[in-house]
Structure 1
């Protein structure tokens, strides 16, 4: 396994991809350590691509993780050890200040429905643009054929999809189902920071999404009704503060008044001092990605 920290070295390495086969790319942002969800991504990437590249990037921004935690040297070393055992070809570990040096001035600005959905519910406008720019840089530096994400990262996937579409970047995006603990909690290194009481409370998030699924299957297609159902289900739990609920298009994040096949139901909540995200998606063929 090759570990690359510098952008120039990663660019030079990527120039040789064409002669070696297809490249699968797994961007991992703001995770403290590897977990079973990442292992599922690695397995899928290896099944479909000859070369597997993982990027470990810690950002100062708050999207899918709490901004008051940091990736320690120990957690980075542990992640690298696990990746070595997972038959990964390249691990790219750029520092944020290398992606955004003092003189940096070229940003991707996301507008439209994505901007409306994420600002201010998930972040500030500047933070969204920085995050999108970082993801765009990674795609252009690594030059993968396929980018792999878990369904838990549906918001990040929407951002990547928009970048790929609007900038005509030749990359396919593939989502795999969320890996969950036995109690339904979506796998994340940040859930390890929850107290036992907070972990128990966090299971309500997936449960209320499943309640929405059952309601939809019984004919309830009104988004405001489902929104009220979620608020009622979570209300009163002292450990949970619901920050945002999106019922909309999974690619544009455009909100929908009526739920139809192809709709994403995504929520963001603060559980204790940590941010927890979860979602489910009603697929266009009528199945569910849970």
Structure 2
């Protein structure tokens, strides 16, 4: 595995793969890698000729500066995991490589960025859109791999690729979960033992809501019941629990089992904010 730090180092390598007519797979990450990230890597290794993974904690997508400062840094461990997984290149840029000057561009993704995560984390998706655009321009992959856990981010990136005509295929990989059901996340490393136990309310509420919807309860009934369940978990504070269309993120007030939808949840466990979702596909 070769480590590169600047686009200039990558350019001749990219050209050599292009001349061999090889497909380049790209997995953008912020490090603190877990098995969910490695699922994306494995998918790329299996389905493309060469795989590049980026590790860059993007400051512009954190609307909470403390959250950025406390984001886990496990670079040496990450590099070992990627080498063992068969990655060909890892791109580890400095902040001033990605942002030689402050980015002034503002991206507007329409209604999809004004609800749920967009409402609770203003500016977050602009930061995501700008950094992903930069990475796509630097790496110029044929295929990019993203995880389903960040469902709203996936919708944003699909719109980015569509509207800016990036010649890139997107592969969305299902959420990887711990044995007890908690969605894998780098933020899980910051949970204390009690918070970790109580964090199971996220997946439990999603599964309960799905069951009750199929049992015929209205979304209003289900939503109110889940809100009461969260109030019984001392360390949990619910931000939202919503039924949405997975592409537009338009809120659904009535459940139709014959149309695709997703249940999305975000909550704090102590000071750590976690998100999860459960797709409903006919």
**What TM-score, normalized by structure 2, do the two folds share?**
0.89
Which residue in the other structure is 1:268 paired with?
266
Q: Contact 2:148–2:173 at 8 Å: present in 1 too?
A: yes
Structure 1 unaligned runs (5+)? none
Which residue in the other structure is 1:51 paired with?
50
Deviation at 1:12, TM superposition (A): 4.0
Q: Contact 1:121–1:244 at 8 Å: present in 2 too?
A: no
Would the alpha carbon gap of residues 193 and 6 (structure 1) be closer, same or farther in structure 2, given more than 3 Å must change?
same
Structure 2 unaligned runs (5+)? none
2:15 aligned with 1:15, yes or no? yes
2:81 aligned with 1:85, yes or no? no
Deviation at 1:108, TM superposition (A): 4.8
Q: Contact 2:109–2:159 at 8 Å: present in 1 too?
A: no
Which of residues 214, 223, 227 in structure 1 aligns to 2:223?
Answer: 227
Which residue in the other structure is 2:120 paired with?
122
The answer to which of 95-104 and 192-201 deviates more is 95-104
2:37 aligned with 1:38, yes or no? yes
Correspondence list, 1:62-141, <5 A: 62=62, 66-72=67-73, 75-102=74-101, 104-105=103-104, 107-118=105-116, 121-125=119-123, 127-141=124-138
Which of residues 186, 206, 209 in structure 2 aligns to 1:212?
Answer: 209
Structure 2: distance between partners of 1:117 and 1:225: 21
2:188 aligned with 1:191, yes or no? yes
Structure 1: distance between partners of 2:103 and 2:119: 27
Calculate the aligned-residue CA RMSD, in Å.
Answer: 2.3
Q: Contact 1:266–1:279 at 8 Å: present in 2 too?
A: yes
The one-character-per-residue Cα deviations of 1:1-30 (angstroms, maximum 9, x if unpaired) are: 11111122234433333224212211113x
Q: Contact 2:24–2:50 at 8 Å: present in 1 too?
A: yes
Correspondence list, 1:232-271, <5 A: 232-260=228-256, 261-271=259-269
The one-character-per-residue Cα deviations of 1:91-137 (angstroms, maximum 9, x if unpaired) are: 111223322222544x2512321221156533123x43122110111
Q: Contact 1:3–1:92 at 8 Å: present in 2 too?
A: yes
Q: Contact 1:239–1:272 at 8 Å: present in 2 too?
A: yes
**What TM-score, normalized by structure 1, do the two folds share?**
0.87
Would the alpha carbon gap of residues 120 and 46 (structure 1) be closer, same or farther in structure 2, given more than 3 Å must change?
closer
Deviation at 1:58, TM superposition (A): 0.4
Deviation at 1:71, TM superposition (A): 4.2
Structure 2: distance between partners of 1:168 and 1:246: 31
Structure 1: distance between partners of 2:117 and 2:146: 22
